[in-house]
Amino acid sequence: MLNGIGDFLSSGSSWMFFIFALLAIGGAIFMISFTKVIHMVISLALTFISLGGLYVILEAEFVAFVQVLIYAGAISILMIFGIMMTKHRQGEEEEPRRPWHEGLAIVGSLALFGVIFYAIQKTKFVATGAFDAGKDNTMEIGKLLYNEHVIPFEIMSVLLTVAFIGAIIIAKREED
Amino acid sequence: MGSIVTPYLTLAAILFCVGLYGALTKKNGVIVLLSIELMLNAVNLNLVAFSKLGDHPALTGQIFSLFNITIAAAEAAVGIAILITIYRNKGTSDVNEMDSMKR
């Protein structure tokens, strides 16, 4: 990666990638390091939005808008609802630290990152064909969804309905 | 040996590992769910990146990432519902205190 960094920084989309990647990693790191839960959710919303920007760079406009609508909108608000419905004692955040646990988690995450990074660097990715996004990304995705992938699509909608009804029934207060 | 898809994969790996660390160490159940969402997002970034810059560029990667987003939304809804029920029954949202199957 270090060899091609000059070429990488020479075009505009690479700069946009750099900015969005910085925002995404920054949001994730802030999510880890903040202590108040609301701040964590807001900083992770920043990560979600910048990932949407990355999707625009990758010519996936429909996925980008879905990302902003569902992740930055729905899931963040759902998490904030979850925080509001459960009480959080702010003062007791700094109770017994578990140094072994956290240290092992850091070591494990870094080891996983090392393995993935090594594999990415070792692999030669060849682009055989040019990407054809079509004139209208949303229309192409719609055609694919309703022709080739129509059965997974319908199964997905059934699954979503079942999951939401189940969520409502689980969270419903049992009065009697 | 840098390809143009390499930065995206590296970014996704970083996000995935940060999410993994958060899911393993955080005590609040809502934050654990958020970290899992972050890991799912990293995987989605990989899918979309390969859909444009991979070996056989096609729109199918974006379709698969859309399915992935749907599953993530369902998982978040059910997870929050379970957390609210646990909080109502046991009065805690700390994942360390949800150990009634261990005792």
pLDDT (0 to 100) of residue B14: 94
How far is it, in rounded angstroms, from Cα B11 to Cα B9? 5
- Cβ–Cβ gap A3/B2 under 8 Å: yes
- Cβ–Cβ gap A105/B49 under 8 Å: no
Provide CB contacts within 8 A for A159, sequence distance 6+: B70, B71, B74
Q: In angstroms, what separates the C-alpha of B62 from chain A's closest C-alpha?
A: 7
Among all chains, which residue has been given the structure tokens 């995206």? B8
* ipTM entry: 0.89
pLDDT, one tens digit per residue, over B44-57 is 999 999 888 887 78
Q: In this complex, is the C-beta atom of A8 within 8 Å of any C-beta atom belonging to chain B?
A: yes
Q: Which of residues 29-48 of A touch B (CB under 8 A)?
A: 29, 31-32, 37, 40-41, 44, 47-48
- pTM score > 0.90 for this model? no
Query: How far apart are the two ends of chain A, measured CA to CA in Å?
Result: 63
pLDDT, one tens digit per residue, over A104-138 is 999 999 999 999 999 999 888 776 667 776 778 88
pLDDT, one tens digit per residue, over A5-58 is 666 667 777 888 899 999 999 999 999 898 888 899 999 999 999 999 999 998
pLDDT (0 to 100) of residue B1: 38
- Cβ–Cβ gap B20/A173 under 8 Å: no
Among candidate residues A50, A75, A30, the one with its CA nearest the CA of residue B33: A75
